[in-house]
Amino acid sequence: MTVWVALLRAVNLGARNKVPMAALRTALEAAGLPDARTLLQSGNVVVKSDLDVGPLIRSVLHREFDVDQPVVVRSRDRLSEIIAANPFPEAARERPTMMRVTFLAEHPSPEAARLLETHDDVRLVEREIYIDYRDRVHGNPVNTSMAARRLSQHGTERNWATVLKLADLAADF
């Protein structure tokens, strides 16, 4: 069986899209994903399954919590590759909460990908956008929203510290 890391988009942001993680784990177990593990309250789930877990988790979110948001999924092995491919290792060491990875649902077209090449603090590798926010996240013109607009697709962002915690959680499965 494959270990999957599911990244839920736009959950538990202020008063909207509330998804209690304990209730989510219970709902996922009932849906055929026993032993689901969650990290933090921001929608990070690790499961072990041979099922197509992305659509399954999205359907549970919609049915049980009335949340209809994309779920981006990567295998444990792919997450390890994403960590190894980080083009900003110094930022990851020195500023792990300012170094971010945006996980895209699809591979962007080469034409769209070229639109990101004008920013020194942004790198696209496969379906991940690495962003070194350097000194500030909020109010920074180089951000996930800008990148997603340029690529014409959605993604969900995690800081480097969370990416590493997810890899550790997945490794323990």
> Secondary structure of the chain: what % helix, strand, coil (to 5)?
35, 25, 40
Predicted pLDDT at 13 = 66
Quickly state the pLDDT bin for 140 (edges 50, 70, 90).
low
pLDDT (0 to 100) of residue 118: 72
Tell me the C-alpha distance between 72 and 103, whole Å: 7
Determine the pLDDT at residue 137: 73
pLDDT at 153 over 90: no
Alpha carbon 33 to chain centroid, angstroms: 19
Question: pTM of this prediction?
Answer: 0.91
- Is the distance from CB of 49 to CB of 6 less than 8 angstroms? no
Asked whether the predicted pLDDT for residue 33 surpasses 90, the reply is: yes
Give yes or no for residue 139 having a pLDDT over 70: no
117-129 confidence digits (pLDDT tens):
777 888 899 999 9
Least confident window among 1-5, 43-47, 53-57, 108-112? 108-112
Q: In sequence order, what are the residues at sequence separation of 6 or more whose Cβ sits closer than 8 angstroms to the Cβ of residue 98? A: 91, 132, 133, 134, 135, 136, 137, 159
Residue 158, CA atoms < 13 Å, CB-side half-sphere:
29
Does the pLDDT of residue 48 top 70, yes or no? yes
d(CA 98, CA 135): 7
Q: Where are the domains of the chain?
A: 2-77, 80-171
Which of the following CATH numbers is that of domain 2-77: 3.30.70.1280, 3.40.50.9100, 3.40.630.30, 3.40.1110.10?
3.30.70.1280
